[in-house]
Every structure is written in structure tokens, then in C-alpha cells.
Amino acid sequence: MNYTEEKILVKAKKVLKDLNPAYFNEENIGKVEYNEKDEVARPAGEIINTWVVVVNEPVFDSLDFLVFSDISGEPLYIQSKHSIHEIKKDSNGNYY
């Protein structure tokens, strides 16, 4: 394990604020879970250690899953019940 729950939580807040600042609410962040040898959706089929941040989506009454690599500490993607969106970072350190 390279990262801690606390470090991933801090980064998750930044990622979520960057992705959707108008609707970000810290209270919507649920649990943070570490997974060893997790098969990730992006890159498809790769098996790595991950952190998953569970985010309540109150508008649609569903859960989203923000997945981080434990190797880099960077977000890989956010997954909802209908889609997966890869997350990238610009040269200013902002996520999109």
C-alpha cells in the first residue's frame, strides 16, 4: 500500500471539485476502500492495487465510484451505473 485513506480522500475532494464544482458536496463522499489486485475497467483488464471512493449521487439516487491507482495516487476513472469516464489532468494540475 503506497497511499493512505487520508491522502486519497484529500485528492478525491480535489478531483470531484474539478470535475463538477457547482455540485460538489463533501457530504456526498461515502467510504474509501483499498483493494489489492483489483481488475480495473480502464485500462481494461489490468490488475492493480486501487483505492475506490464511493460518492452518493443524490440527483439520481445512485452511487458513483471514483477509482485511484495505488501506484501513482492518481484517479483512473469515475464509474456510474451507466458509464465510465476516464479522468485526465491538465498542465495546471486540474482534473477533467
Break the chain into its structural domains and give their ranges: 5-86
Res. 58: pLDDT tops 80: no
Do 75 and 65 form a contact (C-beta atoms < 8 A)? no
Q: Among residues 70, 87, 69, which one has the least CA distance to residue 78?
A: 87
Q: Residues 32, 38, 39, CA angle at the centre, nearest 5°?
A: 130
Question: Which residues partner with 55 through β-bridges?
Answer: 29, 64
Task: Tell me which H or E stretch contains 16.
Answer: helix 5-19
Q: What percent of the chain has pLDDT over 70?
A: 100
pTM score, whole prediction = 0.91
- What value does the mean pLDDT take over residues 45-58? 94
Question: Confidence band (pLDDT; 50, 70, 90) for 9?
Answer: very high
Res. 92: pLDDT tops 90: yes
